[in-house]
Amino acid sequence: MIRRFFSSLLITKESALILCLLMSVIVYSCKQKNPIKKKYLTYSKNVLDYHITPKDSLDKSGLMFSDQGAWFAYSLPKTEDPIIGFSGPFLMTQQNGIWSSRSLSKLYFTTGQNKKPLLDIKSDLKEQYSYTSHLEQTFKSESIQLKQELVFMSGHTALQRTTITNISKRSIQLNTSIQGTISNIGITISKENNGIKLHSEKSSAVGYIRTKNDIELIDHNLVENRFYTIHLKTLNLQPNESKEITISQTFIFPEYSWESEKKLIANVDFDSVLNLKKTEKKIQLESLINNRKTPFQDDKYAQVLAKAHLTLQNNWRLPAGEIKHEGLFPSYHYKWFNGFWSWDSWKHAVGLSYYNTALAKKQMKLMFEFQNDDGFVADCVYRDTLIEKHNYRDTKPPLSVWAVSKIYKKDHDISFIKEMYPKLKKYHYWWYKKRDHDNDGLCEYGSTDGSLIAAKWESGMDNAIRFDNSKILKNSQNAYSINQESVDLNAYLYAEKLYLAELASALQKPDDSITLVNEAKQLKVKIQTQFYDEKDGWFYDTNIEGTLFIKGEGSEGWTALWANAATQKQAEAVKNKMMNPEKFFTKVPFQTMSADHEKFAPLKGYWRGPNWLDQAYFGVKGLRNYGFNDDANKATIQILEGAEGLLEKGQSIRENYHPLTGEGLHAQNFSWSAAHIIMLLLKN
């Protein structure tokens, strides 16, 4: 099969990538003492519920499956409303995500001159499965069995194969047609030689639907440029005989070659592609599942890792338009999250580093394409700025060096560090040049446009209670600070100094390393003295002068533990409050603010009570840093058990959770939540 796959491919840029991946899979597999077990892939079986037959183009009541960085996705039709095809595709190529159709390529099968239906699709639908590698469904009547599979050949093309088997004892005349209707979303259809072409008024991506099989296409018709029918030559199926019909669906941006993709489609073998994707996913899942911490060996934790892995996969996008590197959306499912955020990107990259360092590096490079000369990195960026504008009003908390360091520790790619180090260093010191109002070595969150709202966004914790009475101060041209010094910001900067020092040592820059370590020592003392309230046993933000605590226990209070910037005594006091059921050890522990605070309002405040899994992870990691491993394990289990649907099949991973009820809140399919589940469960 491998030999056939190689001989069938033309060596294009896209096919070369597939060849390289296949070779790496072969080499990896040969090195293993034991063959790759099928079980790894089965952890992903139906782990997310992809059932939706969209009512209209904006129906997001279900989930969508994609792979290889594609800007389009599919679902399984609902069992009560089945289709011989797959729902969609759902297009992220335009309008922040919109269904192209209920099903853009449905198949119809009849028999004989009277064209009698061969299937009752409602009663004959037998099975529907989703895996991290592909989707599949099976129909079975008294006379035929029909199996459909969908797999992404590349980030531009999905292949849909239908295998029809005659299970009767008589010959069957098979009449076949492919039909589809495009929704009224600014896309029109025109004819191609063996398929159709889709033109969009709202996107530069062009769509193609083509047949690839030994069955002759006899004609295809269009109605009003929105409905098409492709008639295939009549077949005679003998008893126990099978025939295959393979359709390719492509949505490709002008940065890529349609001619190369078309040649690849014409020559590629479906089984080779499917087996390649299965092997690729098995290897990735194996690297996650086999790296779990000792307390998390139960299969339910392997299953939630498969869910997290699949969530990140579904949010993966290829470069297009303004975007020059691959990266992950926060959530394809929520229309305002069809872009790339700096803070999210750092977290995504750490999660990816456990099983795909190549993609993790691209995620980091993506955001640094939007770094200004002074070191500033944009808050969020988009493929198409006609849909959304890039946000240069603020940046996000400095966790980029943490992410790069984590990636480097996995693969020791010194060339990546050499490329990233000057950018990271410039970004790090930008904070001291543009966000240290009184030049005391402690930084503040702020904005470039002087607006308080953008300054709050810069913290990543937009409406946290610590900013309720904040005001804006001007530092210099296009540089403003909030009138308070934040403990989390300075804890992140402390950690960055140490991570940068490690990278400097790897690059044989001893002067940089010594300077950064010395700066970290000084900053650590300031964190321990200015931000820690001995009476309360908690870390708080302070005013600019450092003389007044901004009270209200929030998740920023344990970032000093995450950064290893607290004393053991301080960590013990913080730990005691974190493990207090009246405060932070709730049903879903370590939420963004203490449950006994008068402003605690998880359903009314984005950062005023919900549990965000990044903040929960920082809390758990902080406990581990100071030797409180039993508490950390207990908290991890309660976080995963308490968050609604997290350990169950079907439900998506949410943006955040209600800490008292466990209810999933806000966006579904949230990438940084998935990334932090990986961090919670896996060894460093």
Domain spans, the chain: 47-265, 310-681
| pLDDT computed for residue 38 by the predictor | 52
Is there a contact between 544 and 438 (Cβ–Cβ < 8 Å)? yes
Give the model's confidence band at 605: pLDDT under 50 very low, under 70 low, under 90 confident, else very high: confident
Percent of the chain past pLDDT 70, that is, above it, reads 93
Whole-number pLDDT of residue 216: 58
Confidence of residue 347 (pLDDT cuts 50, 70, 90): very high
In angstroms, the CA 219 to CA 226 distance is 17
Q: What percent of the chain stands above pLDDT 90?
A: 87
Q: 528 with 565: CB under 8 angstroms?
A: yes
Burial level of 649, CB count in 10 A (0-12/13-18/19+)? Answer: middle
Looking at residue 220, its pLDDT comes to 65
If you search the block for the tokens 């990691």, which residue do you land on?
A: 621
Residue 213 scores a pLDDT above 80: no
- Mean pLDDT within 510-520: 98
SS3 484: strand
360-390: per-residue pLDDT in tens? Answer: 999 999 999 999 999 999 999 999 999 999 9
The dihedral over CA atoms of 369, 373, 376, 380, expressed in degrees to the nearest 10, equals: -30
Mean pLDDT of the chain: 93
Residues 6+ apart with CB under 8 A from 228: 179, 180, 181, 189, 196, 209, 220, 221, 222
Q: Find out whether 611 and 617 touch, Cβ atoms under 8 Å.
A: no
Is the pLDDT confidence value at 3 over 60?
Answer: no
Distance CA 167, CA 171 (A): 10
pLDDT > 50? residue 584 = yes
592/598 Cα distance (integer angstroms)? 14
Beta strands in 503-600 (DSSP E): 532-533, 538-539, 541-543, 549-550
Sign of CA dihedral 503, 505, 511, 513: positive
How much is the average pLDDT of 338-355? 98
Q: What is each CA distance from 346 to 96, 376, 672, in whole angstroms?
A: 23, 15, 9
Model confidence pLDDT, tens digit, residues 8-21: 333 344 445 444 44
- CA atoms of 658 and 586, how far apart (whole Å): 10
pLDDT in the model for residue 114: 73
Token reading at 458: 């810069």
Q: Name the fold adopted by 310-681.
A: Glycosyltransferase (1.50.10)
List residues bridging with 200 in a β-sheet: 187
3-class DSSP state for residue 159?
A: strand
Q: Which residue has the higher pLDDT, 31 or 352?
A: 352
CA 39 to CA 651: how far, in whole Å? 21
List, for residues 101-141, the tens digit of each pLDDT value.
999 999 999 998 778 888 999 999 999 999 999 999 999 99
What is the pLDDT, as a whole number, of residue 350? 98
Read off the tokens for 313: 């996969």
State the pLDDT at residue 219: 60
Residue whose C-alpha is closest to residue 401's, from 351, 442, 350? 350
Helix (H) or strand (E) holding 270: helix 270-289
Peptide linkage before 89 cis (omega within 30 of 0): yes
Contact 550, 543 (CB under 8 A): yes
Instruction: Give the single-character DSSP code of 616.
Output: H
Q: Is 601 helix (H, G, I), strand (E, B) or coil?
A: coil
Domain 47-265: which topology? Beta-galactosidase; Chain A, domain 5 (2.70.98)
The Cα 596–Cα 660 span in angstroms is 12
Dihedral of CA atoms 534, 536, 538, 541 in degrees, nearest 10, equals -90
- What integer is the mean pLDDT of 222-248? 89
CA-to-CA dists, residue 109 to 84, 120, 235, angstroms: 9, 11, 11
Residue 24: the pLDDT is 44
Sign of the torsion formed by the C-alpha atoms of 668, 383, 366 and 326: positive
d(CA 595, CA 661) in angstroms, rounded, equals 12
148 vs 6, residue with greater confidence = 148
pLDDT reading at 37 higher than 90: no
**212-221, 328-337, 383-392, 475-484: range with lowest mean pLDDT:** 212-221
pLDDT band, residue 60 (cuts 50/70/90): very high
